[in-house]
Amino acid sequence: MVVFNKLKNSDLIPGEIYEAGLTGGFFADEVISNIFKFDNLRGIANQGGIRRTMVENNPSFSNEEAFVILLDTKGDTDWPNKYNSSTKTLNYYGDNKDCKKHYLDTKQRGNAAFEKYFRRAYSNTNEHIAPFFYFERVNGKDARFIGIAVPFVEEIPLNKALELRTFTKLGKGEYENYVANFTILEVSIPRKWLYDLKVGNFESEYIPTIWHNYLQTRKLPPNNEVSDIIPNSDITNPPRNTGYRMTAYRKTQAKFRSRLFERESGCQLCNLSIPSLLVASHIVPWAIADESQKADHNNGLLLCVFHDALFDKGYISFNENGQIIISDELQYSEYERLHINEHMTINILPEQEKYLRFHRATILTQSFFSE
């Protein structure tokens, strides 16, 4: 649990509980508004399940949301929000239940934000999409962070993903409200990215890779294998956010490399054992891996600089038995110069096969070269 006095400096971690204050004053103790406090910037609303905060100090985005908070308070039977952790989908109700008002005429403008960003997400344009951060109320006052709620669900049309429904309020009449379906990305959020969003720096080096990739490709990871196989297998040049990648790289690569050296004594393909010439290579490339895959040593091979270059550029891969697969783009006459042959093998663990399967399908270059 993140205690109240640490909220202002905390990152957002999926599954982590963030503690409300204990003074007894609602506004002073309210957890969400205290998480999203930034020096010299406006705060976020203290109440409501849908809370918007606008971009500041960037005239180009002055009318855009920096991000939107979704909080399931668990306390309103008219809004039975539901998160399905197995499919990573969230069913979330809008913020209107006034029979006398238009469904977009709400105090927090939550339905308007839903309409705006669902339409943009489904239009496949390059318009700005603000991330929605989804929390659930715990113990009546604390909040658990779940992840980024993306206003898009694969294979569901817009009119089903964002559905305008009519409800009846006993004795008062009918009202319209949106029922939205989001896809949840259970990914950690660096606090520095939150600040950058607030000031309209959408090219932040701290942007999570999975969100960056979504904005660039408008594709989401498969619901059932978010942590197993990275999507975008049809992308020949995966998007690269160099600033974020290098910041995160410095934090995790040393540990990743150490784990591979504990497991291997040298290059897995040629046995070269000079440490300065060995590379801790990611099977699913760093640029498109999620946070867990970046740190998972099973997503790694220890290769010499020469064979790492071949593997990284997709000229070689390995089958489920560790047998080398050589790209059709390489002529047989080049094998000796490249220090490879069709009989080479490496030892692989069962846990590595899911990553190698992705590498074979996406990174390995096959042009059916004819000699």
Over residues 112-169, the pLDDT tens digits come to 999 999 999 999 778 899 999 999 999 999 999 999 999 999 889 999 999 999 999 8
Are 199 and 302 within one domain?
no
Domain total in the chain: 2
Is the pLDDT at 199 greater than 90? The verdict is yes
256-306 pLDDT per residue, tens: 888 999 999 999 999 999 988 999 999 988 767 777 888 899 999 999 999
Report how far apart, in Å, the C-alpha atoms of 310 and of each of 42, 243, 269 are: 50, 25, 11
CATH of the domain at 11: 2.30.280.20
Q: What is the pLDDT of residue 292?
A: 83
- Record the tokens describing residue 265, joined without a space: 């004594």
**Res 205 pLDDT > 90:** no
Q: Are residues 308 and 187 in the same domain?
A: no
**Predicted pLDDT at 176:** 97
**Is there a domain that residue 111 lies in?**
yes
What's the rounded mean pLDDT across residues 236-241?
Answer: 39
Residue that terminates a domain, selected from 217, 250, 276: 217
The pairs formed by 88-91 with CB atoms below 8 angstroms and a separation of 24 or more are 88/183, 88/184, 88/185, 88/186, 88/223, 88/226, 89/153, 89/181, 89/182, 89/183, 89/184, 89/223, 90/134, 90/146, 90/149, 90/181, 90/182, 90/183, 90/184, 91/179, 91/180, 91/181
The span from the CA of 217 to the CA of 207, in Å, is 15
Within this chain, do residues 279 and 342 fall inside the same structural domain, yes or no?
Answer: yes
Based on the fold, state whether residues 68 and 153 are members of the same structural domain: yes
The residue range of the domain holding 45 is 4-217
Q: Is position 309 within any domain?
A: yes
**What pLDDT band is residue 221 in, cutting at 50, 70 and 90?**
low
pLDDT bin (cut points 50, 70, 90) of residue 24 is confident
Residues 163 and 278 in one domain: no
Q: Are residues 205 and 267 in the same domain?
A: no
Closest CA to 110 of 61, 8, 179: 179
Q: Please give the backbone phi and psi of residue 181, each rounded to the nearest 5 degrees, phi first.
A: -120, 115
Question: For residue 237, is it within any domain?
Answer: no
39 and 108 in a common domain: yes
Same domain? For 132 and 27 the reply is yes
Domain boundary at 217, 252, 275, which?
A: 217
Asked if residue 190 and residue 258 are part of one domain, the reply reads no
The 10s digit of each residue's pLDDT in 136-148 is 999 999 999 999 9
Read off the pLDDT band of 178 (50, 70, 90).
very high
Would 39 be classed as within a structural domain?
yes
Quick check: is 313 in a domain? yes
Is residue 331 domain-resident? yes
Can you tell me the mean pLDDT for 170-194? 94
133 and 273 in a single domain? The answer is: no
Over residues 346-363, the pLDDT tens digits come to 999 999 999 999 999 888
Is 223 within a domain?
no
| 267 and 213 together in one domain | no
Tokens of 61: 């985005």
Q: pLDDT higher for 329 or 117?
A: 117
Based on the domain organization, do 104 and 138 belong to the same domain?
Answer: yes
Q: What is the mean pLDDT of the chain?
A: 87
Tokens 């489904």: give the residue: 122
- Indicate whether 237 pLDDT > 80: no
Residue 232 maps to a domain: no
